[in-house]
């Protein structure tokens, strides 16, 4: 019973089916009709004109976004626990050609304007320090919290005042959207977001993530950067097909709701004393002793320890209801 | 009737089926059993110990290979018509952090030891010039010629004498292998090859290419570089599954033979006078006037012009026999 | 008797004296009054508002200029014999983060609009090729020819039409200016030049070159890039002092005239049949047999062979008149 | 009365004189006899075989060293207050092509093995994180403390056990050496140091720093990297001359002792209550109220505030004894 990561979940049936359908097409790179429909499809979803590029990984989406928003001699503010800082083997540094990440603090991997301001104040305005050009936040965060539209907009305001671009790592953007029930626009461009890494892989996709630019002029160079990074797949239609299948009839939201609901059940079962943080998306962080963790594992539950005395439980679109119920019971019984 | 590129061919049924099968697994990145079987599977195929990494594109495979073989301050010898020089938007320069490509000449995008030697002689041995560290050849070449084991070994010898590493861009390695009928080892490590980009996408795959290191110690850093380039897919099992399906019962060779055979028929129909080069793999370059090209297009044949008065016809594993027969007839009737 | 290179000439007395004078100041980096006067001083010289940055080498000046004019995913057109292509160990590739150099042809390392056009036509306008963003020419060229204002302007026109920026490697800009007798503006911004590497080291300086931006907005990022490349010397006043000393009373032009005059004497002595190219600046390329070259060396003349049967003779501001006279006689007597 | 920075001090007379002497030589780059004598001269000083390269700035020395010790996909441990992290505009990231700096904590910018160990423990040993390849310490530190041979060796031991290379930023290595009175070898290779940025500019030089490799095989690639970074000056003899002049008769140590002595006098005058840290080299950090700071400035003393309620006083080889005495009196009278 797997609660390791949504990273490893299956691709959902609609996605598999879409791949077979795309198999009947024959145009290379992103010249096929599916890929060419993405700008329009995402512009509709976001209620504004966007440029929408597929890539194969969230790391690529994040890094291409940051390269578009920050020059090599600049710096990017992010949370100390940000995926771009901790889990991408310096991919942002590779794609930006050496920009620095400046890390801020905040509970649950979440940044406030004050926290960002504090980071900015450490930077002298002279050529001896890499000047901040962008802020990157993760929504939902690496600890399963969400930024509301208002919280995002407050950061967007700060960015505008300080001349920073704003990027959202949305590896679990669907989970945030499902939780908040607001229009995608509210969490992005209306709140001042310039670029979004919109995750599909954790949410029922197989190998397709989207990079969305809300300022289309930022996308032009990225088309070259994507190719030059080896991320322009020659059979890109299979990526477009996955994404379009997940957008169809809001499958992306339904999948995310399902994952969030499973997490909510686990959180409720664990109870407030065990919860390290509110489970706002599809991740639950619980306090468990080593013995308790072992007992859970002995009963067949797989998950990661997350620091001493804590465990991370991640649900996904395809979390087995029986496994969830079993873990619920086990947590309640601890 | 598509003769544009094998790049856009369908994924073959065995590959599609393998994706569905992989859907039942749940380990992330390259920790799944399929991905973990690749080293052994390719070691068997190549009759020696190799390290075998999946990536999503040939550009990524080539660039990661070159970054492993050449430092940022070095240079790489390749043919003027090499894909790495002309069609990857400076991806090798990105991945190597700025190494230079030094181009040599030769008919049909093929290099001889003499041609390589000529390039090497242009480089002074001082710190003012980026010293050559690697040679990269393409087999089959961008013009559909193959390097025999002997030809490859002659280049391998030169490399050893001059302290160069040898890379093969094998986007169409299957077509070369099918043509030559020799063991894969003969075209690679026995001939002095250090790293091979082994293409599967053009040959019935969907989104999986392999990077093979014949000197396993060269692979260690590449595992980090792959991640850092955003090429470590979180659901890598789907890439492994494609490749394993194509290796099964030599499907990769059967697919390639089929593509080669279609090309051979077109070449024969065109006749020696029209052929720009022998059609040794799955590409046919023919002399046609603008009027003739237009006439072919009017009859429904799609292909690229390739310089003035020449056209490129590419076949693939799934070239429609009726379309091939029709083009055969049309070429014969020109 | 040294005719190797102006690279190795002495620093002129005024420069040495200026260093001692600068020793009495005490502000770090480029905050001192000498450094701060450079923008105004060069704006006066060029008759327009410029940004003028010192660096320690021509390679740094060229590479910083190119990084300002071309993105990492772009390409730069230059002559096959350009110093940036042949003698800087891929420094432009380092500073631009991997842009490609596209080489054109032309007698005496000189490019014409037609030659540039020919290079541009090899580039397809798609994301698979690094698109040209800049042209870089060398004036005086690596073979001692000069671009007139008209020739430069013709290239500037082409650049404007094709959306390219124009850089001049002026390692021997003084020699070109001295030869042509025109205002520096004529050879630069009035002809469409965006950035100039203005050489002082070969012309009596010790360790100071200038990078001049004729579009001041291009300079902003370069201030950071210079620091980040380790080229913001903490005692920058010594660089500014050298340059200001050479500008004083047109010393830079007087030095260049002196070097040019010596070259002209050698060229005249060699005679038209031996001259490979006209000696328009301070380099003379002459046809000499191996025996003749040896005979000259036996008499104490030092110089480089420059390809089979040719020798390069370089004069400098401090060429010893007796040595020049001796070489004149020796050449005439060959 | 300047106590801003040793960065802005004058070049000492012996250095100026050496420049004039070098003016009589005429070999380019590092082929002159002065430059060629450096390996031997520094090997003698360090009592072992070293490779010794001049560069124009400490930032270049540090960055070239780090690029030799850490691959692009690696990380480098340093102190949070390290110059390489705070004052070089991401030059290490530029030269290493994007390696990450991992920062540790410690009083006075000094790292202990425990502090380094703590940083190392934050890094998981998987490909998702840039693995540590090097440790960089500054001796004397940015806060004027010194690492003793024993302290350095303890870090060297840790490095050996953990497979890290060890770099010392010795912008004020002379001050550390003068303070400790030990052989340079004790502070470097005998303690496990692989590369040293040996500063001369702050200590009476004009524009020459040295990069010393204690493992000569590490230097080979750096010769290319130096050129490619534009740091191979064509008249390098002037850099060598400065350094040789400072080595002559231990002038470097005499200059450093003089600066240290001035700092010691200021520290004694300030008294233990005002001292933020012991003044072990040539920097004194004192607690002063805003009013006190203003009062000092009103009397003609120039210095930087260093955080709220603290001031940094830096002495140099040429600190004016009268100014030092005046500041001594002023501090004592506060």
Q: Residue C96: its chain B contacts at CB < 8 A?
A: 98
Residue A26: pLDDT over 90: no
D233·C57 Cβ contact <8 A: yes
Quote the CA–CA distance of C200 and C206 in Å, as a whole number.
Answer: 8
Average pLDDT for chain D = 96
Q: Residue A235: its chain B contacts at CB < 8 A?
A: 7-8, 11, 201, 206-207
For C177-201, the pLDDT digits (tens) are 999 999 999 999 999 999 999 999 9
For B289-304, the pLDDT digits (tens) are 999 999 999 999 999 9
Would you state the structure tokens that stand for residue A37, as one six-digit string? Answer: 């429909």
Average pLDDT for chain A = 96
B37 to A8, B33, B44, B51, B219: CA distances (angstroms): 18, 6, 11, 11, 16
- Count of all residues that appear for chain A in the document: 334
C127·A232 Cβ contact <8 A: yes
Quote the CA–CA distance of B229 and B210 in Å, as a whole number.
Answer: 15
Of C90, C97, C101, the CB nearest to B99: C90
Quote the CA–CA distance of A209 and A221 in Å, as a whole number.
Answer: 19
For D263-320, the pLDDT digits (tens) are 999 999 999 999 999 999 999 999 999 999 999 999 999 999 998 899 999 999 999 9
A239 closest CA partner among A1, A8, A35, A9: A35
Of C72, C87, C94, the CB nearest to B128: C87
For B256-271, the pLDDT digits (tens) are 999 999 999 999 999 9
Residue predicted with more confidence, C9 or A131: A131
For D115-130, the pLDDT digits (tens) are 999 999 999 999 999 9
Please name the helix (run of DSSP H) or strand (run of DSSP E) that holds residue B116, with its range, or none: helix B113-121
DSSP-assigned states of every residue in A221-275: HHHHHHHHTT---TBTHHHHHHHHHHHGGGHHHHHHHHHHHHHHHHHHHH-TTTB
pLDDT band at A319 (very low <50, low <70, confident <90, very high): very high
Give the β-pairing of D195-198 and C74-79: unpaired
Give the β-pairing of A195-198 and A209-213: antiparallel
Q: Are D135 and D165 in contact (CB under 8 A)?
A: yes
Residue D38 makes CB contacts below 8 A (sequence gap 6+) with D52, D53, D54, D210, D240, D243, D244
Q: Are B94 and B63 in contact (CB under 8 A)?
A: yes
Average pLDDT on C47-51 reads 98
B87·C127 Cβ contact <8 A: no
Q: Are C193 and C218 in contact (CB under 8 A)?
A: no
- How far D112 CA lies from chain B's nearest CA (Å)? 29
Query: Is residue C205 classed as helix, strand or coil in its secondary structure?
Result: coil
For C214-266, the pLDDT digits (tens) are 999 999 999 999 999 999 999 999 999 999 999 999 999 999 999 999 999 99
User: Topology of domain D11-249, per CATH?
Assistant: 3.40.640
pLDDT band at A321 (very low <50, low <70, confident <90, very high): very high
Domain with CATH 3.40.640.10 in chain D: 11-249
- Residue A332 DSSP one-character state: H
For A211-220, the pLDDT digits (tens) are 999 999 999 9
pLDDT band at D334 (very low <50, low <70, confident <90, very high): confident
B221·D128 Cβ contact <8 A: no
Average pLDDT for chain C = 96
H helices of chain C, where?
A: 13-22, 33-36, 38-46, 58-69, 83-86, 91-96, 113-121, 149-162, 173-180, 219-228, 237-247, 251-270, 290-298, 321-333
- How far A212 CA lies from chain B's nearest CA (Å)? 17
Quote the CA–CA distance of B75 and B136 in Å, as a whole number.
Answer: 11
Average pLDDT on C304-320 reads 94
C-alpha C77 chain-centroid distance:
17
pLDDT at A44: 98
Residue C163: pLDDT over 90: yes
List the strands of the sheet with B304-305, edge to edge: B283-287, B310-314, B304-305
Average pLDDT on B78-99 reads 98
Q: Return the residue of B nearest to C96 by Cα.
A: B98
For A55-84, the pLDDT digits (tens) are 999 999 999 999 999 999 999 999 999 999
pLDDT band at B8 (very low <50, low <70, confident <90, very high): confident
Residue D246: pLDDT over 90: yes
pLDDT band at B23 (very low <50, low <70, confident <90, very high): confident
Of C8, C28, C235, the CB nearest to D207: C235
pLDDT at C7: 87
Query: Is residue A54 classed as helix, strand or coil in its secondary structure?
Result: strand
pLDDT at B186: 98
For A167-198, the pLDDT digits (tens) are 999 999 999 999 999 999 999 999 999 999 99
B127·D226 Cβ contact <8 A: yes
- Ramachandran region, residue C300 (left: φ > 0; alpha: ψ -120 to 50; beta: rest): left
Interface test with A, best of B234, B236, B302, B315 (most A CBs within 10 A): B234
pLDDT at D329: 96
B88·A230 Cβ contact <8 A: yes
D131·B71 Cβ contact <8 A: no
Domain with CATH 3.90.1150.10 in chain D: 251-333
Q: Residue D96: its chain A contacts at CB < 8 A?
A: 98
Of B2, B4, B229, the CB nearest to A91: B229
Name the residue with tokens 């209801």.
A321
Of D73, D227, D232, the CB nearest to B221: D73
A16·B10 Cβ contact <8 A: no
Quote the CA–CA distance of D202 and C318 in Å, as a whole number.
Answer: 33
Q: Considering chain B, what percentage of its residues have pLDDT values greater than 70?
A: 100
pLDDT at C34: 96
Would you state the structure tokens that stand for residue A312, as one six-digit string? Answer: 């991370």
Average pLDDT on B58-81 reads 98
pLDDT at B307: 83
CATH 3.90.1150.10 fits B251-333, yes or no: yes
């Amino acid at each position: 019973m797997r609660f390791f990561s949504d990273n490893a979940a299956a691709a959902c049936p609609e996605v598999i089916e879409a791949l077979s359908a795309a198999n009947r097409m024959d145009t290379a790179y992103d010249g096929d009709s599916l890929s060419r429909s993405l700008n329009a499809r995402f512009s509709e979803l976001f209620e504004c004109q966007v440029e929408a590029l597929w890539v194969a990984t969230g790391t690529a989406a994040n890094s291409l976004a940051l390269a578009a928003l920050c020059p090599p001699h600049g710096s990017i503010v992010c949370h100390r626990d940000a995926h771009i800082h901790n889990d991408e083997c310096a991919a942002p540094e590779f794609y930006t050609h050496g920009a620095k990440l400046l890390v801020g603090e905040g509970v649950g991997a979440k940044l406030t304007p004050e926290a960002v301001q504090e980071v900015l104040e450490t930077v002298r305005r002279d050529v001896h320090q890499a000047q901040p050009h962008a802020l990157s936040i993760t929504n939902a965060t690496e600890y399963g919290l969400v930024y509301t539209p208002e919280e995002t907009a407050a950061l967007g305001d700060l960015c505008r005042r300080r001349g920073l671009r704003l990027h959202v790592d949305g590896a679990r953007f669907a989970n945030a959207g499902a939780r908040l029930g607001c229009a995608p626009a509210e969490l992005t461009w209306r709140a001042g977001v310039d670029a979004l890494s919109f995750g599909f892989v954790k949410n029922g996709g197989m190998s397709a993530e989207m990079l969305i630019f809300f300022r289309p002029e930022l996308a032009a160079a990225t088309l070259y950067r994507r190719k030059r990074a080896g991320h322009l797949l020659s059979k890109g239609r299979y990526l477009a097909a996955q994404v379009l299948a997940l957008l169809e009839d809001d499958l992306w939201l339904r999948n995310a709701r399902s994952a969030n609901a499973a997490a909510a059940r686990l959180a409720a079962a664990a109870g407030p004393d065990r919860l390290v943080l509110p489970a706002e998306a599809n991740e639950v962080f619980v306090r468990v002793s080593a013995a308790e963790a072992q007992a859970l594992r002995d009963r067949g539950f797989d998950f990661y320890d997350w620091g001493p005395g804590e465990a991370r439980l991640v649900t996904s679109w395809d979390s087995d209801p029986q496994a969830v119920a079993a873990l619920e019971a086990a947590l309640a019984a601890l």
